[in-house]
Amino acid sequence: MKSSSILKRKSTSLIILLFIASTGFSQQKDKNSNSKSIFENKCAKCHGKDGTKGLFGAKNLQKSKLSDHDYFSIISNGKNIMPNWGKRLTQNQIDLVIQYIKLLRH
């Protein structure tokens, strides 16, 4: 009887762990999807979908080694002809774009 009870607890624990893991994966997938969508709608025109386009002097984001702070500053305030997105994107949206840019790096 004890082994049956232990087995049920282990099974329940495993199910809970799998649920937590799948929920985290789903949230990460949604986050990546949102960050990609923002990047493609706001940044890809000049930087390209893969970050290499370089239109109007836009930097190659695959080769960029800027810090998160530097990215945040440039995205928020603009640079050269790049618009300041700080008035059009929330801080969270800018953070999502930064995370997406880092995925583009090689």
In DSSP notation, 43-80 reads THHHH-TTS---GGG---TTT----HHHHHHHHHH-BT
Condensed to tens digits (0 to 9), the pLDDT of residues 47-94 reads 999 999 999 999 999 999 999 999 999 999 999 999 999 999 999 999
- Terminal C-alpha separation, the chain: 56
34: closest CA among 26, 9, 5?
Answer: 26
SS3 category, 26: helix
| Contacts for 13 with CB less than 8 Å, ≥ 6 apart | none
Condensed to tens digits (0 to 9), the pLDDT of residues 13-53 reads 556 555 555 554 444 445 567 999 999 999 999 999 999 99
User: What tokens appear for 50 in the block?
Assistant: 């893969």
